[in-house]
Amino acid sequence: MSVSGVFVWFLVVFSSLRREKMKTGRWMSLVLPLVAVLLAGAIPALAQTTIPSEVSEETLECIECHSTESMGIYQQWGTSKHFRANVGCYECHKADKDEADAFDHEGFLISIIVSPKDCSACHAKEVKEFDESHHAKAGAILGSLDNFLADIVEGDWNFYGGSALTVSGCKQCHGGVVEVNKDGSLKATGWPNTGMGRINPDGSVGACTACHQRHAFSAAQARRPENCGKCHLGPDHPQKEIYEESKHGIAFAAHEDDLNMENAKWVLGEDYTAAPTCATCHMSAVRTTDGELVPVTHDVGLRISWNNRPPASIRPEVSDKKLGLEKMAKVSWQTRRANMVKVCTVCHTAPYVSNFYEQYDGVVNLYNSKFAEPGIAIMKLLYENNLLTPTKFDELVEWTWWEIWHHEGRRARHGASMMAPDYTHWHGMYEVGKHWYTKFIPELREIVAHNANSSDPKKAEAAKALQAAIDELLARPEHSWFTGNMPAAEAEKRKKAQDEFKKRY
Amino acid sequence: MSVSGVFVWFLVVFSSLRREKMKTGRWMSLVLPLVAVLLAGAIPALAQTTIPSEVSEETLECIECHSTESMGIYQQWGTSKHFRANVGCYECHKADKDEADAFDHEGFLISIIVSPKDCSACHAKEVKEFDESHHAKAGAILGSLDNFLADIVEGDWNFYGGSALTVSGCKQCHGGVVEVNKDGSLKATGWPNTGMGRINPDGSVGACTACHQRHAFSAAQARRPENCGKCHLGPDHPQKEIYEESKHGIAFAAHEDDLNMENAKWVLGEDYTAAPTCATCHMSAVRTTDGELVPVTHDVGLRISWNNRPPASIRPEVSDKKLGLEKMAKVSWQTRRANMVKVCTVCHTAPYVSNFYEQYDGVVNLYNSKFAEPGIAIMKLLYENNLLTPTKFDELVEWTWWEIWHHEGRRARHGASMMAPDYTHWHGMYEVGKHWYTKFIPELREIVAHNANSSDPKKAEAAKALQAAIDELLARPEHSWFTGNMPAAEAEKRKKAQDEFKKRY
Amino acid sequence: MSVSGVFVWFLVVFSSLRREKMKTGRWMSLVLPLVAVLLAGAIPALAQTTIPSEVSEETLECIECHSTESMGIYQQWGTSKHFRANVGCYECHKADKDEADAFDHEGFLISIIVSPKDCSACHAKEVKEFDESHHAKAGAILGSLDNFLADIVEGDWNFYGGSALTVSGCKQCHGGVVEVNKDGSLKATGWPNTGMGRINPDGSVGACTACHQRHAFSAAQARRPENCGKCHLGPDHPQKEIYEESKHGIAFAAHEDDLNMENAKWVLGEDYTAAPTCATCHMSAVRTTDGELVPVTHDVGLRISWNNRPPASIRPEVSDKKLGLEKMAKVSWQTRRANMVKVCTVCHTAPYVSNFYEQYDGVVNLYNSKFAEPGIAIMKLLYENNLLTPTKFDELVEWTWWEIWHHEGRRARHGASMMAPDYTHWHGMYEVGKHWYTKFIPELREIVAHNANSSDPKKAEAAKALQAAIDELLARPEHSWFTGNMPAAEAEKRKKAQDEFKKRY
C-alpha cells in the first residue's frame, strides 16, 4: 500500500472510532491540514497542482461507510490510478443543484451517473476525441430499423410505455436516454446502462465505463480483447470471435503476459510487440517504423478504411458525414488506411501489408458487386412497386435480405479484415451464398408468381419488372452457374485449373 | 513438497526397493508407527483425530504401482488437499463386499466409482446440500421429451439396447444409471460418466467429479467459469457464453490473478472483489454489506428467483416442488432473490440492483406474455383437437415451437439475467420474434388450410378454432403490427419518439 | 539478455554509429573474428559445430535496419530459440538465384517465403513427418467440392481471374499456390498465406508458420489449443470449441501455468499431467504407463482411429491411401488407436479408456448406419437418375444433405471423440435429426411429387424408385417412429424404462 493509502486507511479507522462524538467533517477540517503538512515531505510526488494533494474530506466521509457498505466499490477504487491521484468518490460523484439527477446523500449532493462531462474535468482530450468519433453516435441506432425489431417485433409497450427488450438488449450497447425521477433517482429504462452512446442527464453523450469498468478503471482491462467483446460479438458483428481465430488472437493467448498491459505508456514498438489487441490496432500509441510516435486516440475510426456496417460497404468518411461527425467527415479513407498501415508495419513488411489490403478489398468488392448492390436494387424495386408493404419484417424476404447483409455479409467482411478464414467463409460468404440462392431468389420468384396475374394491373406490371430484374441478375457471369449457363470458356478454364491442381498431389 | 509429501515419497521409493523381499504391508506395519512418532513433533497440524494422521498402508501399496501406472492420477492427487490430509487412493476407492461394483484389485476390494455417499464420509454437509438441490434432479430429464429426441429421433437401439447418443450426449451432463457387470466392471452405457444426476451403484445420486475434477480436486478449478461450462453452454442454455460477454466475465478475464482462487476461505468481500465467477454469485461465501457471513452452499438454487427452463418462466419453488425437492419447495423466490441481492450489494448499490431486477423481470414478463403463454395455449389446442399426432417431433411446428422456447427464449431470459445484451437480443428475442412470425404463425395457418375442408367434421371444426385463436392473438396490441393494424395512437407515439431521438444526434 | 544477446546488441548499436563511414559487412569481417575469440571462453555452449557459433555478418546487416524498421520482427526473433542458436534473418531468408521468389534486397538475394524445405536444413525430421501426414494434403481440397462453393457459388472471377473469397477463405487454412511476379514479389492470390498445404515457389508443400507463428516460434504457443483453432473451429469442424467444453479444456484453463509449456522436453507423464492440449494427445512426447518414451511426431494422424471428415466415417488408412500417403496407408487404425491409448492411460485406467472408445464408436456407428449411409445411397440415386442436375448446390436438397454430413454430422462425431456432450448432441446429432426429418425427407418427397407424372418416362420411373427408397428407409426400426409405426415391443420397452426411471426420482 502506498503512503497515501496508509494515510487514508489511518484516517478512516480513526475517524470511525470518533464519529459518534464529533461530526467527522468538522474534525477533519481541523486535523487534515496539519497532517498534510507533516506528510508533505514524505510524498512530494503527490504535491502537484492539478491533482489533489490529498484525499478530500468529502471522500473520506464516503469511505467511512463504503469501506463496508458496497465495499467492492471501495476496494476496486483502491486498486485504481484514481486512488493514487487522490481522486475519490466525491470528486467524481459530486453534483450541482441544477443537475437533474442530483440528490442528497448523507448531507452531500451527488449523482449516480458519472458522465463524460464529469470525466472531462481531468480527461478533456479523451472526451473530445470520443465526441468526434463514430462511437459517440452509437445511440443513433435507436431511431432506426434495428430498433423497430426490439421495440415492435419483439417488444410490447408494457415497460414504462416501451419495450423491456430495448432496455436490456439494444440500449446496453448503443446507450439510451438516462431518465431521472423527480427525487433524483434513475428509472430502470435507462439505468443500469453502460451503452456507448448513452445520453446522460447532463446532456453529455457516452459512458466512459462502457470500456473503463468501474471502479478499478484498469488500463489492462480496457486494452484486452474481451473488453470490446461486450458489444463487438455475436451473429451481426463477431469481431471478438474473429480476433480470437486470427493469428493476432492466437499470439495474444500465448503471450499475454509479455504485453506489459498495465504500463501507463503502452506504445507498440516500444513496450511490446508480442501480440496486438483490438486497442493496439484501433486506438493505442505506436512508435512507427519511421520513428514517429503516434499517440493513443479515443477516436476509434481514425484507422478504419471501410465501413462494413451498411448493406454494401462504404467509405467511413461518407457515413461519418451522414452522422454529422464534421471533423471525421473530412478524414479520407486513404488517410485512415495510412494510419493503420503505420501500425501494421511495426511487425509486418510493407509488401505484406499491401497484399493483405488487396485481399481484404477483394472480398469487400466481391461481396458488394455480386450480392449487396443487386440485393439493394431489388429490395428498392419491391418497395417502390408495392410488391411489399411499407411495414418492415412482416414479409419473409425482408428477413432473408436483412440477415444476408446485416449478419452474414458483415461476418464475411469483418472476417477478411482480420484474416480469420472461418468467419470469412463458413460463417460469412458461405451463408450469404446459401441464402441468396436457396432463399432470396426463390422468394423473389414466389413474389413474381403471386403477383403476375394480379387483378391490380400495377402489380402485374411490377411482377414483370421483378422477373426481368431476376433474369438480368442471373444472366451475369458470376451468377450464371445457378441456371446452368456458366460460360463454356470459364468452365473449361476452371476444369483445367482443377486438373492441374490435382496433379500436384 | 510438504513434510508428509517427503515422507510418502521416501516410503514409496524405499518400499519399492524392498518389495521383492518382504510384503510391503507387513513391513510398513512395523516401521510406520515408529516413524509417525518421530515425525509427530514436526507435523503437529496433521496430528488430528478426524483426518488420517498418515497415509494408509493400503494407499501406499496402491502408489507402489500407480506412481508409474496411470501416474497422472498419482501426480494430480499429489497436488490436491487430499494428499496433505492423507486421504489417498484406498480411502476413497475402498468398497464393501455387498457393493455391486466392488471387485478385487491386487488383493484389495475396491470400486471405480467414488460416489457422493463415499465423499460424504468427510463432506457430509456438501452432499446434503447437493441432495436438496435442483442439481440432484438433473437425471430426471432422462424420462422426458429431451430424451425422446436422443433415444428415438436421433438414436437407435443398437448400443446395449439403447441409443449411443444418449450415452455420449444427454447422460454426460444429466447423468444416467451406472450399470455394473457381474465381475464388478462397469458398462459403457454409464461409464465414463460425470453427469450431475448420475445414479450410482450404491444408490446415491450425483457425481462430485462433475465439478471437482479428479484427481487434483482443485478449488480454483471448480470456481472458474469454464467448470460450469461443461454443461451450461450451447444453443439451449449458453450461460458460459453469456457470462463471458457480461461485465462480470470481462472483469474476470482482466483480473483473474487477483481473485485469490486457491484460497480455502474464499469469501466475496473479504478475499476478493475484483470480479465474480459463476460460483461467486450462485454458491460461494459472502461477507455481506451488513457484515453477515453467508457461508458457501452446494444448493445452487438458493439465490435464483426465476426458473427459466420451462416454456414460460416460473418461480423456482414451483418447479422444485414438482421435482420432489421438499426443502426447496418451501423457499420462496423472494427469499432467494434476497439471498442474491446480498451478493450483488457487495459491489453494487441497492438502487442499482433493484433497477437491474426491474429490467430482468421486464424481459421475462415480456417473453412470457407475448410469446410463451400464447404459444403454450396454441400447442395445447393443436394436441387436444388432434390437429397434431400425439407423437412429438414428427410435425414441423413441433420443432419450431420447441426451438422458440427451449433454445431462443431461454437464451433471451438467461441473457437478461446476466446483462449480456447480445444474447438477450440477437441470440435471444430476435430469434424468438423471427421464428414466431416467419415460421410459427405461417405453419399454424398451414394447419388451418390443411384441415379447414377436412371430411372429418371434428378437424374442420378444430381448424376454425385454431383460426380464431390466431386471429385473437394477432389482434392483441403487441402483435398488431404484423397485420398492419398497429393502433394509430401507438404509431404516432412511436414516430414522435423517433423524431425526438433523431434530433439529439 | 544472454551473453550472445548483449553481443548482438552491442554490434548493432556500434555499427549503426559507424555505418556512414564504412561498409558494415567489411568492417564486421575484421572485427568479428577478434570478438569471437575473446568471447569464446565465456560462451562455450554456443561453440558447436552444427549450430552457427555466432550471428552471421549478413544477419547483422539485416538487423541494422530492422531493429527499427518492422522492428516487431526483430524483437520477436529476440525471444526465440533461433536467436540463441544464432539463426537469424539471413539464415532463413537467403535464396539462390534459381529460386522463383528470390530478389535483391539491399545487396542480398533473399526470398520472403521460408518454406518447409528451408526449415528442413535444421529440422529435417519434422519436415519429413509432416510430408508423410494428412496435413500435407490439406491443399487437395482446392480441387474439390468445397472449392466449388468458394470459387463459383460465392465467388466471381475478378480477383486475378479467380475468387477473392478462395484467397481469404479456403486458402488461409488449406493453403494455395504461392504465385510469384517477375520481380520476385508475391501475388496477393497466394500471399499473405499460412495455409497448411501451401505450395511454395520452391515446390515444397506446407507452411511451418501455420502453427509456429513467426518470428518468436514459441513452443508454448504451438502447444496451446488456440493454435489449432486457427483452422479447427467453426460450423464444420469445431474441435477447438469441443475441447474447451471437455474436461480436458476445463483442466487446461485451470492449470495452464502448471503445464511447463515452454520446456523443450515436454513429455506427458514426466513434465506435466495437469491437463492435455491438442498437441499432447495428437503429437507430443509421452512417457507411457509402461515406461516407454514415445517421441513427439509431426504426423498428426498417427493416433487417430476414425476419419470423420467424409459423409460417413471411414478408417484413416483408407483415406490416407486415397490421398497418396504411402507410409500412412499402411498404418492400420488399430495401431493408431493403440498409439492414442498410450497417451490416455497416462492419466486414465485401461478400462476407462476402453469404455470411452466403446462410447465413441457407438456414436460413429449410429451416425453412419442411421443417417450417413442411407443419405449417401439416396443422393447417388438422385444423381444417377437425373432427378438432380449434375451441377452441385443449385438444388435445395444438395444444401440440406451437405450440411447434415459436412457440418452437423461432423460436429456430433468430433464431439463424441472428445467427450463434449453439447457438441455431440445439441450442435451435432440434434441438428442431424432435425434436418433429416424436417428437410431431407420432405424435400425428397417433393422431388417424387414433382417427377411422378413427368412426361419423361425415365423421370417418372426414377420418382417411383425414389419413393420406394424412402419407404424402405422409413420402415427400418430406427426410423419407424416418424411414420407412427414404432414396433409395439419397442414402445412398450421404452415406456417401461421411462416409468422405472421416474420412480427413482
Whether residue A24 is predicted with pLDDT greater than 50 in this model: the reply is no
pLDDT tens for each residue of C389-437: 999 999 999 999 999 999 999 999 999 999 999 999 999 999 999 999 9
pLDDT band, very low/low/confident/very high, at B498 (cuts 50, 70, 90): confident
Q: What is the pLDDT of residues A181-227, one digit of tens each?
A: 999 999 999 999 999 999 999 999 999 999 999 999 999 999 999 99
* Average of per-residue pLDDT across B152-163: 94
Neighbours of C356 (CB within 10 A): 20
Distance separating the N- and C-terminal Cα atoms of chain C = 65
Q: Give the pLDDT band of residue C108 (cuts 50, 70, 90).
A: very high
Q: Do A72 and B273 touch (CB under 8 A)?
A: yes
Mean pLDDT value of segment B170-180 = 95
Residue A46 scores a pLDDT above 50: no
R_g of chain A, CA atoms, integer Å: 28
The answer to whether C159 faces chain A, any CB pair under 8 Å, is yes
DSSP C394-405: SSHHHHHHHIII
Residue of B nearest to C290 (CA): B69
Say which residues have a Cβ less than 8 Å from residue B91's Cβ, sequence separation at least 6.
B52, B56, B59
Ramachandran angles phi, psi of C159, nearest 5°: -110, 95
The Cα of B277 is separated from the nearest Cα of chain C by a number of Å equal to 13
- Read off the C-alpha cell for B274: 475484483
**Largest pairwise CA distance in chain B:** 97
Pair C385, C465: CB distance under 8 Å: yes
Q: Over the stretch A306-361, which tens digit does the pLDDT of each residue have?
A: 999 999 999 999 999 999 999 999 999 999 999 999 999 999 999 999 999 999 99
pLDDT tens sequence across C200-209: 999 999 999 9
The DSSP H or E segment spanning B287 is strand B286-287
- Whether the predicted pLDDT of A47 surpasses 70: no
Question: ∠C367-C372-C378 over CA atoms, to 5°?
Answer: 150
List the single best residue of A481, A494, A495 to mutate versus C (max C Cβ within 10 A).
Answer: A481
Contacts of residue B356 in chain A, CB cutoff 8 Å? 188, 192
> How would residue B281 be classed by pLDDT, with cut points 50, 70 and 90?
very high
Mean pLDDT of C224-229: 98
**Mind listing the pLDDT tens digit for each residue in A428-477?**
999 999 999 999 999 999 999 999 999 999 999 999 999 999 999 999 99
For residue B387 the three cell numbers come to: 390437429
Q: Give the per-residue pLDDT at C377.
A: 98
Residue among B150, B161, B227 whose CB faces C250 most closely? B227
> Is the Cβ–Cβ distance between A345 and A289 less than 8 Å?
yes
pLDDT at position B44, please? 42
Residue C268 or residue B51, greater confidence = C268
CA distance B100 to B180: 7
Distance to chain B for A290, nearest Cα, Å: 33
3-state secondary structure of A94: strand
Among B113, B91, B106, smallest CA distance to B187 is for B113
Pick from A247, A366, A428: which is nearest to C156 by CB? Answer: A366
ipTM surpasses cut 0.85: yes
What's the angle, vertex CA C220, arms to CA C216 and CA C224, rounded to 5? 120
Q: Give the pLDDT mean for B466-474.
A: 98
Specify the higher pLDDT residue, C2 or B417. Answer: B417
pLDDT at B145: 62
Write out residues 132-151 of B within 8 Å (CB-CB) of C.
137, 139-140, 142-143, 149-151
Cell digits for A327? 471533423
Kindly state whether C362 is in contact with chain B, defined as any CB-CB distance less than 8 angstroms. yes
* Contact flag B419-A172 (C-beta cutoff 8 Å): yes
Which alpha helices (H) appear in C19-104, and where do they start and end? 24-40, 57-66, 71-78, 81-84, 89-93
Query: Inter-axis angle of helices A457-475 and A373-384, to 10 degrees?
Result: 170
Nearest-by-Cβ selection for A234 from B246, B426, B483: B426
B234 closest CB neighbour out of C349, C427, C484 = C427
Provide the angle, in degrees to the nearest 10, between the axes of the packed helices B57-66 and B24-40.
110
Q: Average pLDDT over chain B, rounded to whole?
A: 91
- pLDDT (tens digit per residue) in B380-437: 999 999 999 999 999 999 999 999 999 999 999 999 999 999 999 999 999 999 999 9
Q: Which pLDDT value is given to residue C2?
A: 44
Give the bridge partners for B94, in sequence order.
Answer: B110
| Average pLDDT score over residue span B191-214 | 97
Q: A456 CB contacts (<8 Å, ≥6 apart)? A: none
In the predicted structure, residue A44 carries a pLDDT above the cut 90: no
Q: Three-class SS of residue A287? A: strand
Asked if C88 has any chain B CB less than 8 Å from its own CB, the reply is no
Distance of alpha carbon A315 from alpha carbon A417, whole angstroms = 14
CB-CB under 8 Å, B358 with A169: no
Which residues neighbour B258 within 8 Å (Cβ) at sequence distance 6 or greater?
Answer: A79, B272, B274, B275
Q: What is the mean pLDDT of residues A79-104?
A: 96
Whether residues B419 and A192 touch (CB distance < 8 A) is answered with yes
State pTM to two decimals. Answer: 0.91
Secondary structure of B66-95 as H, E, C letters: HCCCCHHHHHHHHCCHHHHCCCCHHHHHEC
C-alpha cell at B260: 485469490
Question: Hey, are the CB atoms on B366 and A163 less than 8 Å from each other?
Answer: yes
The sign of the dihedral angle between the CA atoms of A336, A340, A345, A350 is negative
Q: List phi, psi (to 5°) of C430.
A: -60, -45
Which of A70, A177, A386 to probe by mutation at the B interface, max B CB count within 10 Å? Answer: A70
Quote the pLDDT of residue A142.
80
Task: Give yes or no for residue C185 having a pLDDT over 60.
Answer: yes
**CB contact (8 A) between residue B346 and residue A236:** no
B386 touches chain C (CB under 8 A): no
Q: Is B208 on the interface with C (CB under 8 A)?
A: no
Tell me if C169 sits within 8 A of C146, measured CB to CB.
no
More confident residue, C236 or C489: C236
The pLDDT assigned to A140 comes to 86
**Closest chain A residue to the Cα of B290, Cα to Cα:** A69
Identify whether the C-beta of residue C240 lies closer than 8 Å to the C-beta of residue C225: yes
Give which of B171, B172, B240, B394 to mutate to test C binding, by max C Cβ within 10 Å. B172
Each residue's pLDDT tens digit, C341-383: 999 999 999 999 999 999 999 999 999 999 999 999 999 999 9
What is the model's pLDDT at position B465? 98
Residue A497's pLDDT is: 76
Cis peptide before B215 (omega within 30 of 0): yes
Residues 6+ apart with CB under 8 A from B491: none
B265 — contact with chain A (CB < 8 Å)?
A: no
Lowest mean pLDDT among B494-503, C58-67, C265-274: B494-503
Percentage of chain C beyond pLDDT 70 is: 89
For residues C217 and C38, the model is more confident at: C217
**Closest residue in A to C185 (Cα–Cα):** A351
Output the pLDDT for position A19: 43
Residues of A in contact with C249 (CB under 8 A): none
pLDDT bracket for residue C29 (50, 70, 90): low
Residue type, B202: D
Q: Do C170 and A360 touch (CB under 8 A)?
A: no
| Closest-CA distance of chain C to residue B374, Å | 24
> Does B73 have pLDDT greater than 50?
yes
Which H or E element spans position C473? helix C457-475
Which amino acid, one-letter code, is at B258?
Answer: D
Q: Chain A 300-359, CB below 8 Å of chain B: which residues?
A: 323-324
Q: What is the pLDDT of residue B471?
A: 98
Model confidence at C6: pLDDT above 70: no
Question: Mean pLDDT across chain C, nearest whole number?
Answer: 91
Instruction: Report d(CA A342, CA A348) in Å as an integer.
Output: 10
Q: Which residue's C-alpha cell is 461518407?
A: A318
A274 vs C194: CB contact, 8 Å cut-off? no
> Are residues C186 and A494, on separate chains, in Cβ contact within 8 Å?
no
Q: Does C46 touch chain B (CB under 8 A)?
A: no
Confidence of residue C18 (pLDDT cuts 50, 70, 90): very low
